[in-house]
Amino acid sequence: MQIGYVYSDARGETDRLLADVAARLMAEGVAVAGAVQHNIACDDDHHCDMDVKVLPDGPVVRISQNLGVGSTGCRLDAGALEMAVAEVAQRLPGARILIVNKFGKHEAEGRGFRQMVADVAAEGVPVLIGMNSMNRQAFLDFAGDLAAPVPATELMNWARAAMVERA
């Protein structure tokens, strides 16, 4: 089992890194499944709209909800995220790698992509997942020694090596 995770302090950088890896692998003809996140209309004064693109061929699912000005609650639309998970599940057969935008609060609580990550990794398919500091400990508790950090500069090398190991 191989689970690689990437983390960046820069806002949106982890999303960009994973989207780039997915695009490059798909351009090479690799069968990729998963979801990458794109944040729209980000600025310091307002929250981003969060969309995930289901790999390899869509759809794009808005996973955030607008809670209004001054809101402080979780903006994740749990139903939309679960819809994205179901879409990814349909595209899993034959995938050589699973890329997941983030092990977030939903996954930390046992939902979202959590079970899929466990199942796919148990089958020997490499998983590359984004990490944030808020849910890092929950992820490490979940993945244990099956997960390893992957430096941003090594993502493509890690993905290629992990797929070769499985072959």
Across 53-79, average pLDDT: 77
User: Sign of the CA dihedral 52, 21, 17, 123?
Assistant: positive
Lowest mean pLDDT among 11-20, 26-35, 76-85: 76-85
pLDDT band at residue 138 under the 50/70/90 scheme: very high
In this structure, what CATH number is given to the domain that contains residue 55? Answer: 3.40.50.300
Closest CA to 81 of 56, 105, 47: 105
Q: Residue 11 pLDDT more than 70? A: yes
Query: Do the Cβ atoms of 143 and 23 come closer than 8 Å?
Result: no
Q: What is the DSSP string of 64-115?
A: B----TT--S--B-HHHHHHHHHHHHHH-TT-SEEEES---HHHHTT-TTHH
Query: For residue 40, what pLDDT is reported?
Result: 64
Rounded percentage of the chain residues whose pLDDT exceeds 90: 69
17-61 per-position pLDDT tens digit: 999 999 999 999 999 999 999 876 555 555 677 899 999 998 999
Looking at per-residue pLDDT, the higher value among 41 and 113 belongs to 113
Number of domains in the chain: 1
Looking at per-residue pLDDT, the higher value among 72 and 96 belongs to 96
Query: For residue 46, what pLDDT is reported?
Result: 54
Residue 141: which domain range?
A: 3-66+73-166
Query: For residue 108, what pLDDT is reported?
Result: 94
Lowest mean pLDDT among 29-33, 73-77, 122-126: 73-77
Rounded percentage of the chain residues whose pLDDT exceeds 70: 88
Output DSSP code: residue 64. B
- Non-local CB neighbours of 161 within 8 Å, separated by 6+ positions: none
Distance CA 33, CA 22 (A): 9
The first and second tokens of residue 6, run together, are 């990437």
Query: For residue 9, what pLDDT is reported?
Result: 87
